[in-house]
Amino acid sequence: MDTTFATAAAPRKPLVHAANIAAHRMQLALATVAVALPTMATVLAFVLWLGYGIGFGPVEATLLAGFYALTIIGIGCGYHRLFTHQAYKTTTPVRVVLAILGSMASQGPVLFWCAIHRRHHNFADTDGDSHSPYFNKETRMNRLVGFWHAHTGWLFSTEVTDWGRYIPDLLKDRPIFRVNQLYFVWIALGLAIPAAIGGLVHGTLAGAGYGLLWGGLVRTFFVHHSTWCINSVCHVFGRRPFKINDEARNNWFVAILTFGEGWHNNHHAFPYAMSHRFKWYQYDPNGGIVKLLAKFGLAWDLRSPSAEAVREKLASAPAGHNAPG
């Protein structure tokens, strides 16, 4: 099954429509809170730490790193490679855990995320792509505005992606549908658990506050921007070993931040590939985690292109180049 939903026969117009005004307002309010709250909390956390020397120590650093890793894995191994691209199969408990960890990243419920991302691959860097930096070619929109749109601005768009077209499989997936419905519970847990750990370790209410701040909100800020760099940075800066028909690029720095998702040119060339590592030096911990799950019998049917398919694609020229360049 071609999980990119990008077929030659696909119409070039996206199936999107304007939602009703109440839904728009709700979407805009949620996007505003999701972007603004972690940003303001991060400013506060750094002011407290660098200005007053309080609120950050080994406990908070551990909570930040630990919850960053868990939620980045939830997005990369779960939302992206498993649910969007079906790059491997795994057990229902592992699927649920990955969907919950991805939800804790506050990037939207799993079904919303996957629908948008399948649409991104379907229309990459053309009209219909939800978050291309080249979204407004007709008016030669300033590159900086395009970059902002790809990075964060698209979250405030009034478009709605047609779930019936893009995620029919996930709509029938009962456990994942249930995780999707409980989205705000997972976000609350993603904030409450580091707060509880901070409070328990320090034995004070302030300790809980610092845990919430660094393990919850500052972590969310960094996970947001690392992930969003894939849509912005990885469609503008980096190498394109595969001369595919869009602007996806390999960016080593974003690959480090996102545990391997930054090898985005590799990924757009072979969206179904479980591993994004095509050269020995390409750092891809998310791929390593799936291989580890497979070693323990918890993952199977890991998909990867043949060496011949990779060679062929490296040698082939694109049919046409969509983005301005």
Quote the CA–CA distance of 68 and 258 in Å, as a whole number: 10
Size of the site for Zn ion (CB under 5 A): 1
Quote the CA–CA distance of 325 and 299 in Å, as a whole number: 40
Closest contact distance (angstroms) between CB of 269 and Zn ion is: 11
CB atoms within 10 A of CB 198: 27
Closest contact distance (angstroms) between CB of 99 and Zn ion is: 16
Contact status: 63 vs Zn ion (CB under 5 A): no
Three-class SS state of 265: helix
- Residue 59 or 269 having the CB closest to Zn ion: 269
Contact status: 75 vs Zn ion (CB under 5 A): no
Report the first-to-last Cα separation within the chain, whole angstroms.
33
Closest contact distance (angstroms) between CB of 257 and Zn ion is: 15
Contact status: 87 vs Zn ion (CB under 5 A): no
Quote the CA–CA distance of 250 and 263 in Å, as a whole number: 4
- Residue 208 or 248 having the CB closest to Zn ion: 248
Name the residue with the smallest CB distance to Zn ion. 248
- Residue 95 or 117 having the CB closest to Zn ion: 117
In 3D space, the residue among 152, 113, 148, 114 whose CA is nearest the CA of residue 134 turns out to be 148
Contact 95, 82 (CB under 8 A): yes
- Residue 216 or 287 having the CB closest to Zn ion: 287
Buried b (16+ CB within 10 A) or exposed e, 24-49: eeebeeebeebbeebbebbeebeebb
In 3D space, the residue among 148, 71, 141, 86 whose CA is nearest the CA of residue 117 turns out to be 86
- Residue 81 or 197 having the CB closest to Zn ion: 81
Which residues are 89's β-sheet partners?
300
Closest contact distance (angstroms) between CB of 56 and Zn ion is: 34
* Contact code string over 228-257 relative to Zn ion, x by CB under 5 A: --------------------x---------
Closest contact distance (angstroms) between CB of 192 and Zn ion is: 30
CB atoms within 10 A of CB 159: 15
DSSP state of 316: P
Cβ neighbours of residue 181 under 8 Å, at least 6 residues apart? 109
Closest contact distance (angstroms) between CB of 87 and Zn ion is: 9
Closest contact distance (angstroms) between CB of 298 and Zn ion is: 22
Quote the CA–CA distance of 157 and 131 in Å, as a whole number: 10
The CA distances from residue 39 to 44, 53, 62, 116, 157, in Å, are 9, 20, 20, 23, 20
Contact status: 77 vs Zn ion (CB under 5 A): no
- Residue 191 or 248 having the CB closest to Zn ion: 248
Closest contact distance (angstroms) between CB of 73 and Zn ion is: 16
- Residue 105 or 248 having the CB closest to Zn ion: 248
- Residue 223 or 254 having the CB closest to Zn ion: 254
Contact status: 212 vs Zn ion (CB under 5 A): no
- Residue 195 or 248 having the CB closest to Zn ion: 248
Closest contact distance (angstroms) between CB of 285 and Zn ion is: 17
Which positions lie near Zn ion, rule CB under 5 A? Answer: 248
